[in-house]
Amino acid sequence: MENVVGDRVLIAVQAVNISRLSTHPVPTVPGTLIVVAGAGPKDSNGAGKSSFIASITALLGDEQWRFASGAKAVSELLFNAELASGAGGRQWASADHGYIVGVFAPPGMNGFPSADQPQGPVAGSPEGGAAAVAAAPSLLEQEEPDHAEGGELFEVPDTSGGALTVWLRVNQEAPHLEIRWRDGVHLAASPSEAERVARADEIWASLPRSAGKRDVVARDLTRALYGDRVRCVSFLSTSVRSKVATNLLSQPLNEISPERVFEAIAALTGLDAELEQEREARRDEHAKRVHAAQAADRLAEFEAESKALLGTFDRRDQARVRLAEALRCWRGRQARKLADAAAKDEALSADLARHRAAGAAAAEAAALVKAEIATLREDTLDRQVAQARKELAALQARAAKLDADRAVTENSADELRGRIPALEESRRFADGRDVPAAERELREVRLRLNEALKALGVADQEARSAQAALDDAEGGPAAAQLNALAAAGVGATGLLDALTSPSRPATPPTRRGCAGGRTSTR
């Protein structure tokens, strides 16, 4: 709610617990010059003139009270026992709250509307400075039982646009100012000062709260009562309001700078609070714009970093996919090589077993041949020679095969040796198996390689044994002598070879061994 007073003018003021002022209602005449005078304890000082004027300026919303800051200075208007001690006020306690009551009526209303009953004489007592109060007979009346309960001095019709009573409660503690109002005239009326003070508390409690569940406080006083109008301009250079800023009434205009004139006009019209709010709003807006710019910069930086990170994440995901594919291919290749090596190892093992069996058979055959040579007869020699030749051809073929197998085995061994460094390097970079498993597999491969080398050595030994057996079969025990004679260009043959049977054609001159190891030349 705003501008509840509207066009009404102030026609009466009542102060309760305000300085040393009496609680009697004081009528005012709008549009006239009102001179406030009074007598204090010794002279005119201390009569309460400035306090009376200050209470009216607070009621009319003078911005010099700094309502936007809570109007703490208004609490200095309350009755103070220490300041009043010089006037016999020691028997009273300082007031913690008081009231400034104003009655507003439409312009042109002279006094209060009278009721049907006759008006009595002025009700009041001379204590509290009655000399400063000029009470009109039309303002006050004697207490009537019908009106005492309601607290109204006069029966005022509650019509739209009629009288309005505004109550300002001044507190020593925050909130320092509370405002309530009600249509009609509602003043504290009782025969004595104490009763009027108690009656003021009762009337305040009966008034409705001005802002729903709470009361209007100082910062909303001018807006709620007078809207955007300026109802009062004052200058009080007293202890009642000691901290008063320089305004247009305090000194000549030629002594005020243009900037100060503007500030005074702003304070006069109540715009200083709005200007301060505007400055605060502009500072807040500037801070918010700076913050927004910084936020935009941070956002751009964050988006750039996010874009770079997202690109990095995409490349990393692609690298992971490619790495997984490469590992899969690498494991497949290694598995393929391992399978091929295992198959080749099995084939070599089978060949080695066959070679061993063949070597054993050749050894047995050589032993049998030696035994047979020792017991040879002339009639069985040819058959044995033929059989020996056949066995020689078989042994030669087997020896050739063994030579070929040895060459293949050596090639395989060289290939396996050449693969060891690469496998060692692969083992360090391989992710498919752990180090113990790879080392175990490497040891197994090396064991198989050693076994293959051993088999190769055995095969070489067997080949050499077979060659020796072949040489023995061809030349007999005198093979060395025959070889030496052949190297010297002397034709020689074994004695038994030289003895030919009548039914057998003579053999061509060759070197042959015999059981006795004897040789002959021709």
3-state SS of 265-308 is HHHHHCHHHHHHHHHHHHHHHHHHHHHHHHHHHHHHHHHHHHHH
Strand partners, 168: 100, 179
Tell me, what amino acid is at 382? D
Is the CA virtual torsion 55, 61, 63, 65 positive or negative? positive
What is the sign, positive or negative, of the torsion defined by CA atoms of 62, 64, 67, 68? positive
Three-state DSSP at 217 gives strand
Phi, psi for 506 (deg, rounded to 5): -65, 140
The Cβ of residue 351 has, within 10 Å, a number of other Cβ atoms equal to 18
Using an 8 Å Cβ cutoff, are 197 and 24 in contact? no
Contact 133, 127 (CB under 8 A): no
Q: How many Cα atoms are found within 13 Å in the side-chain-facing hemisphere of 292?
A: 6
**Residue 173, token pair as written in the block:** 């503690």
Q: Cβ distance 249 to 232 under 8 Å?
A: no
Using the structure block, give the residue that is written with the tokens 């491969």. Answer: 445
Helix (H) or strand (E) holding 98: strand 97-105
User: Residue with structure tokens 């085995």?
Assistant: 409
User: Can you read off the two tokens belonging to residue 416?
Assistant: 């396996």
| Neighbour-count burial for 282-317, b at 16+ CB within 10 Å, e otherwise | eeeeeeeeeeeeeeeeeeeeeeeeeeeeeeeeeeee
What is each CA distance from 409 to 348, 349, 420, 452, 498, in whole angstroms?
A: 8, 11, 16, 7, 43
Element (H, E) at 170: strand 164-171
- 3-state DSSP: the chain helix, strand, coil percent, rounded to 5? 55, 10, 35
Give φ, ψ of 101 to 5 degrees.
-110, 130
Determine the Cα–Cα distance for residues 17 and 168; give it in Å rounded to an integer: 12
Cα gap 327→112, rounded to integer Å: 107
pLDDT value of residue 133: 32
The SS3 assignment for 363 reads helix
Whether omega before 175 lies within 30 degrees of 0, making that bond cis, reads yes
Rounded Cα gap, residues 322 and 209, in angstroms: 79
Give the whole-angstrom CA distance, residue 203 versus residue 177: 17
22 Cβ contact list (under 8 Å, min separation 6): 15, 124, 127, 128, 129, 130, 132, 133, 193
pLDDT at residue 85, as a whole number: 65
The pLDDT value given to residue 500: 54
Could you tell me how far CA 377 lies from the centroid of its own chain?
110
Q: Mark the ranges of the chain whose per-residue pLDDT is less than 50.
A: 89, 112-160, 242, 501-522
Helices then strands, counting H and E runs in the chain, come out as 10, 8
Greatest CA span in the chain, whole angstroms? 197
Q: Do the Cβ atoms of 334 and 426 come closer than 8 Å?
A: yes
Q: How far apart are CA 122 and CA 138, in angstroms?
A: 9
Strands 164-171 and 97-105: antiparallel
- CA dihedral angle for residue 275, residue 280, residue 285, residue 286, rounded to 10 degrees: 100
The residues, any chain, with a CB within 8 Å of residue 161's CB and separated by 6 or more, are 106
pLDDT reported for residue 132: 31
